[in-house]
Structure 1
């Protein structure tokens, strides 16, 4: 069981959970709100994230990208605690669970969600598979931004309301940027070994001196968009104010990233995932309070 926990990478699941919580919180006052849809969205996102993690573990081990020189946490396949056959079974299982939960969402959201589901599965494999993988094309952060930001928040909101509102789009952009920052920390930590293996991630392409400014841009832009949207009258003040409190944590994180070396990036990675969860949670609490207790 411990081997599978390592393979699943529980701390990364904040990236999947946070946008779903946010999308459903924004939609909570909808007369069409359905708890079963919210729960299924959450399960589907988690299964997809686990699939991405298992696929990445398998293909990065098979290609030699994950080796004894890597600085990140233990990888189950590379360490030999899960065999290639076992992890392929795990990939098949989580993919199937993603599809089954996704089909329930298709029934409520229509054929567009079928296309989104297919695209999600394809990208889960395309991130790590082959020399033209999304990671090698430096598209990992963009993929995360789209699927674990825009699609996750707006999709879960649409399933509950059958409409799409500007506040969902704004917050989808913000949480997408924070989730992209998680990916960027991971790629910055592995920049040297990835470059040696020919894996051309965004962190490899921008070079080491630019990694810190790029990370800060992901984090600060998320907060800036939210604040600008408030002053433009698109977001309520209470959730923005509550969420703004997490900027103190965010600023300390950017400072830690700037001086981090080697395995120190693992702490920054975990805390960036936590920031995404705190950001989404605070905005969700403020939104729910605004919707129900201030009426």
Structure 2
């Protein structure tokens, strides 16, 4: 039996419920936002840690809401790949999955109050909006994930918004610098969602979803991924050679350039959901490696002034 369809018990079923391969979308923006803040001054370790935990909890809770609502709508069964499988394979009740997601949201909200207390209460409003988007991504009468805008919402809120919040809580102001650097991160996060929609396009179409992938087809979706990945590197090149904040250290991200090439090739090669899982895995790996390298490059630029 494939590892993607195996039944999990004990701690493993909770681990898989959080869909750990997607959690890279939560901590990469925090690291990039913090590194960008270092360019402008000192950063606070406590705010970094609290922000990381809060974002991880929100992302994990969003995945649980996804699990719950997709099950309720009859989209998931024991043959579904890419899901946590907590309900359809591991015996957890839908209510327990939903309640665990709510509990994660509550803890994240409490951590958010600490962040607001240490920075600005305006963060509270932004945080509420982010949590609402996480819930309505698969919840509500018209889930965001059922529209062509899922990738945009995911990239914007998990990339741009989180980077800007993280930058702000350290510096007390906003800047064009982290905003520009957030573009490739937002793209890479959105492409994780695009990869998911490529894998699930057949079942999604039957269910009535109108995702971007369904509207344009698999091949155009893959070409879109390739173009946007290229744009991520072009933006880094642009920032590298700008007058005020350019740094050759940013070019370190090109060490990850083999991963998007590998992902695109695997997407073209595979067709069935189980065949596309390796490609999906690479999109998550690319987001992680690219994000870490970008954060390192920004940080080295900050501490060396080069």
Tell me the equivalent position of 1:288: 299
Against the structure 1 CA distance between its residues 210 and 29, is the aligned structure 2 distance closer, same or farther, given a 3 Å change threshold? closer
Q: Say if 2:39 and 2:301, in contact at 8 Å, map to a contact too.
A: no
Tell me the equivalent position of 1:276: 287
Provide the secondary structure at the position in 2 that maps to 1:64.
Answer: coil
Tell me the equivalent position of 1:67: 77
Against the structure 1 CA distance between its residues 167 and 70, is the aligned structure 2 distance closer, same or farther, given a 3 Å change threshold? same
Give the TM-score taking structure 2 as reference length: 0.90
| CA-atom RMSD in angstroms | 1.8
Q: Say if 1:167 and 1:234, in contact at 8 Å, map to a contact too.
A: no
Provide the secondary structure at the position in 1 that maps to 2:87.
Answer: helix
CA distance in 2, matches of 1:223, 1:146: 18
Please, which runs of 5 or more residues in structure 1 have no aligned partner? none
CA distance in 1, matches of 2:140, 2:215: 18
1:50 aligns with 2:90: no
CA distance in 2, matches of 1:160, 1:250: 32
Correspondence 1:106-185 to 2 at 5 A:
106-185=116-195
Choose from 34, 38, 50 the match for 2:48: 38
Q: Say if 2:35 and 2:299, in contact at 8 Å, map to a contact too.
A: yes
Q: Say if 1:253 and 1:272, in contact at 8 Å, map to a contact too.
A: yes
Against the structure 1 CA distance between its residues 148 and 83, is the aligned structure 2 distance closer, same or farther, given a 3 Å change threshold? same
Q: Say if 1:149 and 1:175, in contact at 8 Å, map to a contact too.
A: yes
Q: Deviations over 1:88-142 (max 9, x none)?
A: 2211210111111111122233232111111111111111114411011222111
Against the structure 1 CA distance between its residues 88 and 158, is the aligned structure 2 distance closer, same or farther, given a 3 Å change threshold? same
Q: Deviations over 1:10-29 (max 9, x none)?
A: 11111101111111112125
Give the TM-score taking structure 1 as reference length: 0.93
1:103 aligns with 2:109: no
Provide the secondary structure at the position in 1 that maps to 2:82.
Answer: coil
1:28 aligns with 2:43: no
Q: Which moved more, 1:121-130 or 1:255-264?
A: 255-264
Q: Which moved more, 1:182-191 or 1:275-284?
A: 275-284
Provide the secondary structure at the position in 1 that maps to 2:138.
Answer: coil
Q: Say if 2:259 and 2:283, in contact at 8 Å, map to a contact too.
A: no
1:5 aligns with 2:15: yes
Q: Which moved more, 1:246-255 or 1:19-28?
A: 246-255
Q: Say if 1:135 and 1:201, in contact at 8 Å, map to a contact too.
A: yes
Q: Which moved more, 1:181-190 or 1:207-216?
A: 207-216
Tell me the equivalent position of 1:255: 265
Q: Say if 1:127 and 1:140, in contact at 8 Å, map to a contact too.
A: yes
CA distance in 2, matches of 1:179, 1:282: 15
CA distance in 2, matches of 1:68, 1:196: 18
Q: Which moved more, 1:254-263 or 1:92-101?
A: 254-263
CA distance in 2, matches of 1:105, 1:258: 44
CA distance in 1, matches of 2:235, 2:304: 26
Against the structure 1 CA distance between its residues 75 and 200, is the aligned structure 2 distance closer, same or farther, given a 3 Å change threshold? farther
Give the deviation of 1:74 after TM superposition. Answer: 4.8
CA distance in 2, matches of 1:82, 1:103: 31
Q: Which moved more, 1:95-104 or 1:203-212?
A: 203-212
